[in-house]
Chains A and B, each alone.
Chain A
Amino acid sequence: MSATTEPTTTTPTAPPPARVTAPPAEPGQLTKETYRGRIHPDWCPGCGDFSVLAALQTALFELGLKPHQVCVISGIGCSSNLPGYVNTYGMHTLHGRALAVATGVKCGNHDLKVICTGGDGDGYGIGGNHFVHTMRRNVDLTYIVMDNQIYGLTTGQCSPTSVKGMKTKSTPYGSVENPINPIPMAMVGGATYVARAFSGKQKHMVEMIKGAIQHKGFSLVDVFSPCVTYNKDNTYQWFNPRIKILEEQGHDPTDFHKAMDRGYQWGEEIPIGLFWHRTDLPSLEDLEPVLHTGEGPLGFRKLGIASADAEQLVAELL
C-alpha cells in the first residue's frame, strides 16, 4: 500500500465561488443541467462532497425524477449545505433534525421523493435518536450520509465515526471512544436498504443512490467522503487501496449474517456496496390508512370537518 496512490476516479474540483444562472430548460425536458442548483458549492477544493452531489444529480436525472417531485432535506454541517446546490425542493433544517423533518414531509406529501443528506456528526451524533427511530419506522426515504469521520464546519473536532486513537482538535491525545459503525447499526436498527459508497468511486455511488431512491422503505447510503482539510488520516489515498466493491465479490445482500460480517470489516480491506436489502417490509406510509383514502397527499387536501362527523364528535360529550 502506497500513500501516494492516486484516486481511481478523478476528484471533482470546486468551481469558482460565484452565483451562476441555471441554463434555461424547455418545460418538460429533463437534462443533467436541470438539477444544477442556483449556486455553486462553497466546499473546500477536493472535498468528497462534490462527488456525492454529482452522483445524486446523475441519479435523479437517470431516474427521470422531475425537480418539483423531489425534496432534499439536510441538517447542519458542511455537507448539509447540499440542498442549496441541487435544483429540487429543499430544506436546510437544524443540526441533527433532518430525519425528523423529512418524516413529517413524507407524511404530509407521500408522493414526494424525500432524500436526506448530511454528515456523520449531524446524523450519527446529534441526530442519533432520530436516526434509530426513523429506521425502525421504515419511513420511505433515502438518507445519504457524507461520512468524513470529522467535524469540518467547526474546524476539525472528533466525530462519532472518528477512528479510535484519532488525534483531532478536541482529542489532541487521541480519541478514546469507539466509533459508531453505521452499517451494522442500520441493519439492526431496521433499515431495509443499507449501502456504502466512496467519493472516489462515483459511478458506483450513482448506482447505490439510484437503488436507494427506488427502494420502498428506509435506505441508507453511508459515503466515505474525505475531508481534505481536517482529516489527514482517512484520505483518498488511505481509502483507495482498501476499498473493495461488494458487487464485484458476489455478495448476497439478502444474507443478513454475511452482511453483518462484511459490515464489520475494517482495516486492510473495507467493503463498499449494497450490504443489506429486504423488500418484504411495508413502509410507514404503507401502514397509515389515512394516506390511502384516494384523496392525494395530506398537504393538498381540503380542510374542514363533515357535518355528520361534527355531530358525532359533539354527541360523544353528551
Chain B
Amino acid sequence: MNKIDFGVGIGGENGQGIASTGNILALIFARRGLHLNAYNAYQSIIRGGHTFLTIRAGNEPALNMGDKLDVFIPLNQDAMDRHLRLLKSGACAIFDQEKVTPGEPAEGVQLCPMPMKEVTKGNKLAVNTAALGATLQLLGIESEPLETVISRQFKKKGDAIIAENVAIARAGYDYAAQNFKAFPWKAPMGPKPLGIITGNQAIAMGGAAAGVKFYAAYPMSPSTGVLMWMAAHARQLGIMVRQVEDEIGVMNMVIGAAHTGCRAMCATSGGGFALMTEAVGMSGMIETPIVCVDVQRAGPATGVPTKTEQGDLWQALGAGQGDYPRIVVVPTNQLDLFRTMPELFNLCDKYQCPGLVLSDLLISEGTASIDPDDLNFDVTIDRGELILPNGNGLNPASGYNDKTYLRYKNTESGISPRAVPGVPGHIFTAATDEHDEDGTLISDEFTNPHKRRMMVEKRARKMEGTIKEITPPELFGPKEAAVTLVGWGSTDGVIREAVEKLAGEEGIVANQLQIKWIVPLHAAEILRILKAGKHVLIIENNQSGQFARYLRSETGFEAHGHIRKYDGEPFMPHHIVEAVKQQLTRNTTLSVPVHEVIA
C-alpha cells in the first residue's frame, strides 16, 4: 500500500469547541485504523485567544504533527489570516462564507466557502460539525462514522441534540459533495481499528497497571489530565485520590502513603515540582520509593503555561539538597509513557529510591493513535525486599522490641529489607536526619563520620544495581552516517522523521541516538556510539542546551553542533532538516528554527 499521510488543522478561539471537534475527527480516523498524532497549540485563556489544533493521520505510524496541512478549518478571521498563507498546492480551506473572508491563497489551494447559517439552520454552535461533515467528504470518508462518533460524544446531551448534530453533519457532507472537489486520493483504511490516547492518560493508566493505590496532586497545567483520569477511575480501580493544598503537601502525602506499602505517585509541572523537591530528598533519605511525573512546560516561574519545553532536566537532576540516588527517565511518546510507569515502579521498589519521570506538554496533552493490544495491563510486578504483614517470604520476628531487624542494614547491594508500619517485630523510626542501620539518628549526639560515610555509600551503591537493569540506548538508522542526531524524550518521533526525510529528500545519510534513561546514564555506551559519529548534533526543546551540558558532564563528549527551539512550540520535521543542512555547510554550530505557524 502506498503511504498516504494527511493533515487537518482547525483554528479559532478558545471556547469554540476546537478540542472536542479534534477529538471527534481523531476518533473517526483511529476507528478507520489510521495512525495519528494530534497537537493542540493553545493559550492560557478559557475564552478567546487563538487555538490551533493539528491532526496528522495516515496508514503508517504518525510520529509527530508533521509539516503540512491538507484540510484547514478556520473558525474565525484571525485563524484564516494566520494560516492561509502556509497552505500549499493541493490543500483546501473550509470556512463560513458569512463570517470569514479568505485572503489570497497560494496557487492550487482550493477555497471551500460554506453558507453555514443555511447548512446549520442557524445553529451557531454546530458550525464545527458542518465543517467536519465537509472534511470527511473531501477525504473520501463516508458520513456514517461521523454520525456514530457524534452520537457517542453527545450522549449526555440527549437524543434531540444528537439528531440535530447528525443532520447538520450530513448537510455539511452533502454541501461539500455538490460544491467542492474531493482530494484525488482517499483516506485509507488500516487493518484494524485503533484507539486514541493522550500522554496524561497513558501516565495514569501506566500507574494503574503498576498497581498505584494512592494518587495525590495539585492541579497544574499541563499535568492535570493525570489527576482527572485518576479521579474518574478511582473507585472502580480502588485508588485513593486526593487533591492537596499545595505540591509540598502532595509529595509529603505520597511519601506517607508509600511508607505504608502502597505504590503511590503524583504528577505536576515544573513549578509544582520545585515545591516538592525537598521531600523528594526525603524519599531518598528514608528510602521510601515514590514516583513523580513532571510534565514540563515553558518556564521559568509561571512561564508559558500552555506551551511545551524540555526545560526541567537540571531541576530533576538537582531536585533536593545533598547526594542521594534517584532514577530519572524521559519517555519518548504516549505508549512509552504507559510502558515506562510499571517498569519504573519496579525499579523504585527494588532500589527504594524516588523515580522521576519527565514528560512534557507535547506528549502529555498530545493525542496519538494506539493499538489496543499494545496496552498490556498484565505487567510484571516486582516489589523487591518489601516486608508486609501478609508476607512475601520473609518471616516477621515475634515480640515488640525486636532488635534483630535493621531497617537500614548495610548490605553489599545497598538494599535493606523494608518493613512497613503495622508489621509486628520490625519497629523502626524512619528519619530524614542521617541515621544508623537501626534508624537511630547519627546527626546529633551520636554523630560519627565513619557511620555517616557508610550510610552515604550504602545508599549510593544502589545505583550500581539499577544501571544493570536499564536498557542502553541504541542507534536508529544506518551505522555509517554523515550526521548523527541526538535527542532525549519527546523529540524521538520528529527526529526519526527528520532522519527519513534527510535520506529521502536531501540525500543526507543520518542516524539517531535517542536517550530515555537519564539517571543512571549508560555513559560508556553512549560515548562509544557518539565517538564514532562523523557529525553529531544535539537537538532539544530549550535554550541553554540542558542535555548537551549533562552529556558533557557525564561523558566529556562535546557535540559538533546544536539545534534548539525555545519558543514554546515543538519541532516540526522540516525545522530539523533545514537546520541539519545549515550545519553541514559548517556555517554555524547553533541553529534555532523559527516557528512559522503562529506569527
Q: Known: A293-B238, A299-B262. Is A17-B249 also a contact (CB below 8 A)? A: no
Contact status A90-B248, CB under 8 Å = no
- Return the CB mask of A48-84 against B: 1 if under 8 Å, else 0: 0000000000000000001111011100100001011
Contact among B197, B216, B261, B398 with A299 in the assembled complex (CB-CB below 8 Å): B261
Instruction: Give B276 Cβ to nearest chain A Cβ, in Å.
Output: 11
Contact, CB under 8 Å: A84 / B264:
no
B460 to chain A, nearest CB (A): 21
Counting chain B CB atoms within 10 Å of each CB, the highest count among A21, A39, A90, A305 belongs to A305
Kindly state whether residue B521 has any CB partner on chain A within 8 Å: no
Least CB distance from B245 to A in Å reads 4
Bound-state Cα–Cα, A92 to B440, Å: 11
Could you show 28 A-B contacts with beta carbons less than 8 Å apart? Answer: A27-B398, A39-B440, A67-B427, A68-B426, A81-B444, A83-B431, A89-B421, A89-B427, A90-B428, A92-B441, A94-B282, A97-B248, A104-B214, A104-B216, A104-B255, A104-B257, A107-B257, A129-B246, A298-B214, A299-B262, A303-B213, A307-B378, A310-B209, A310-B375, A313-B233, A313-B375, A317-B197, A318-B30
Most buried by A among B248, B254, B398: B248
Q: Which residues of B contact A87 (CB under 8 A)?
A: 400-401, 427
A103: chain B residues at CB < 8 Å are 242, 253, 256
For B196, B208, B213, B400, the residue with the greatest tally of chain A CB atoms inside 10 Å of its CB is B400
Known A34-B401, A66-B424; further 13 A-B contacts with Cβ < 8 A: A23-B401, A24-B401, A68-B422, A101-B253, A101-B256, A106-B256, A107-B240, A109-B261, A129-B246, A289-B235, A301-B213, A313-B233, A317-B370
Q: Which residue of B lies closest to A104 (CB)?
A: B256
In the complex, which residue of chain A has the Cβ closest to the Cβ of B252?
A: A100
Residues of A close to B240: CB separation below 8 A: 107, 288, 290-291, 298
A88 at the interface (CB under 8 A from B): yes
Question: Per-position contact with A for B433-472: 1 when CB-CB < 8 Å, else 0?
Answer: 1000011110011100000000000000000000000000
A87 to B240, CA, bound (A): 29
Q: Which 7 A-B pairs have the closest CB atoms?
A: A104-B256, A303-B211, A108-B260, A299-B261, A90-B429, A317-B195, A299-B260
How distant is the Cα of A54 from the Cα of B155 in the complex, in angstroms?
Answer: 63
Closest Cβ of chain A to B275, distance in Å, is 11
A42 — which chain B residues lie within 8 A by C-beta? 444-445
Most buried by B among A68, A102, A290, A299: A299
Whether the pair A300, B422 counts as a contact (CB closer than 8 A) is yes
Mark each residue of chain B from 366 to 381: 1 if its CB lies under 8 Å from any CB of chain A, else 0.
Answer: 0000101001011101
Q: Which residues in chain B, 377-433, are within 8 Å of chain A measured between CB atoms? A: 377-379, 381, 383, 388-390, 398-401, 403, 420-433
Number of interface residues of A (CB under 8 A): 73
The CA of A295 and the CA of B213, in the complex, are separated in Å by: 12
Q: Are A318 and B372 in contact (CB under 8 A)?
A: yes
Q: When the two chains form their complex, are residues B440 and A108 in contact, meaning their CB atoms are under 8 A apart?
A: no
Give the docked Cα–Cα distance between A291 and B262 (Å): 13
Whether A109 contacts B208 by the Cβ 8 Å rule is no
Instruction: Take A68-B426, A69-B422, A289-B235 as given contacts and tell me if A303 and B263 are in contact as well, using a CB distance cutoff of 8 Å.
Output: yes
B135 within 8 A of A: no
- Which A residue's beta carbon lies closest to that of B245? A133
Q: Count of chain B residues with Cβ under 8 Å from any Cβ of A?
A: 84
Given contacts A17-B445, A67-B427, A68-B421, contact A305 B260 (CB under 8 A): no
Q: Is the CB of A22 within 8 A of B401?
A: yes
Decide: B427 and A68 in contact? CB cutoff 8 A.
Answer: yes
Are A301 and B433 interface neighbours, CB within 8 A? no
- With A and B bound together, what is the CA distance between A17 and B253 in angstroms? 34
Interface readout for A280-318 with B: 1 if CB under 8 Å, 0 if not? 000000001111010101111101110101101110011
Q: When the two chains form their complex, are residues B389 and A100 in contact, meaning their CB atoms are under 8 A apart?
A: no
Q: Does B109 contact A (CB under 8 A)?
A: no
Q: In the bound complex, what is the Cα–Cα distance between A107 and B264 (angstroms)?
A: 11
A314 touches B238 (CB 8 A): no
Interface of A (DSSP majority class): mixed
Interface string of A235-269 (1 = CB under 8 A from B): 00000000000000000000000000000000000
Closest A residue to B204 by CB, please name it. Answer: A313
Q: Does A105 count as interface, using CB distance less than 8 angstroms?
A: yes
Alpha-carbon distance A130/B218, docked complex (angstroms): 13
Q: In this assembly, does A1 line the interface, its C-beta being within 8 Å of a C-beta of chain B?
A: no
Q: Are B213 and A34 in contact (CB under 8 A)?
A: no
Cα(A289)–Cα(B370), bound, Å: 32
Q: Which residues of A contact B425 (CB under 8 A)?
A: 68
A111 within 8 A of B: yes
Beta-carbon contact of B252 and A94 below 8 Å: yes
Q: Report the Cα distance A104→B257, complex, angstroms.
A: 4
How would residues 143 to 166 of chain B score, 1 for a CB under 8 Å from any chain A CB and 0 otherwise?
000000000000000000000000
Given A107-B214, A305-B209, A310-B378, also A100-B249 (CB < 8 A): yes
Residue of B nearest to A90 (CB): B429
B234–A290 touching, CB < 8 Å = yes
Any B CB within 8 A of the CB of A175 = no
Q: Which B residues, 182 to 198, have Cβ-Cβ distances below 8 Å to chain A? A: 193-197
Q: Which residues of A contact B236 (CB under 8 A)?
A: 309, 312
In the assembled complex, B217 has its CB within 8 A of some CB on chain A: no
**Contact partner, A84, options B208, B239, B262, B441, Cβ 8 Å:** B441
Contacts A24-B401, A89-B428 given; does A105 touch B259 at CB 8 Å: yes
- CB neighbours (8 Å) of A69 from chain B are 422
Q: Which residue in A27, A34, A81, A101 is a CB contact (below 8 Å) of B441?
A: A81
| Chain B residues, CB < 8 A from A34 | 400-401
**Judging by beta carbons under 8 Å apart, are B260 and A297 in contact?**
yes
Given contacts A129-B246, A313-B208, A314-B195, contact A104 B422 (CB under 8 A): no
With CB as the reference atom, state the residue of chain A lying closest to B249. A100
Q: Are A92 and B257 in contact (CB under 8 A)?
A: no
* Closest B residue, CB atoms, query A83: B429
| Partner pick for B421 among A109, A305, A318, CB 8 A cutoff | A109
> Do A92 and B421 have beta carbons less than 8 Å apart?
no
B contact residues around A38 at 8 Å (CB): 403, 438-440
Q: Flag whether A112 is at the interface (Cβ < 8 A).
A: yes
> Of A17, A67, A104, A289, which contacts B254 at CB under 8 A?
A104
Q: Which residues of A contact B169 (CB under 8 A)?
A: none
Task: Kindly name the residue among A24, A133, A310 whose own CB sees the greatest number of chain B CB atoms within 10 A.
Answer: A310
Residue A227 at the B interface, CB < 8 A? no
**Residues of B close to A72: CB separation below 8 A:** 429
Distance in Å: Cβ of A136 to nearest Cβ of chain B? 9
A312 nearest CB neighbor, chain B only: B236
Produce 1/0 per residue, A15-48, CB < 8 A to B: 0010101111111001000100111001000000
Residue B237 CB within 8 A of the other chain: yes
Contact B258 A108 (CB under 8 A): yes
Q: How far is the CA of A136 from the CA of B426 in the complex (A)?
A: 33
| Minimum distance in angstroms from A135 CB to a CB of chain B | 11
Q: In the bound complex, how far is the Cα of B242 from the Cα of A109, in angstroms? A: 15
Is residue A205 contacting chain B, with contact meaning CB distance below 8 A? Answer: no
CA distance A314 to B335 in the complex (A): 13
B201 within 8 A of A: yes
**Whole-angstrom CA separation of A20 from B425 in the bound complex:** 19
Chain B residues within an 8 Å CB radius of A307: 377-378
Complex contacts, B398 vs chain A, CB 8 Å: 27
Per the bound structure, the CA–CA distance linking A178 and B569 in Å amounts to: 49
**Chain A residues near B264 (CB-CB < 8 A):** 104, 108
**B106: shortest Cβ distance to chain A, in Å?**
37
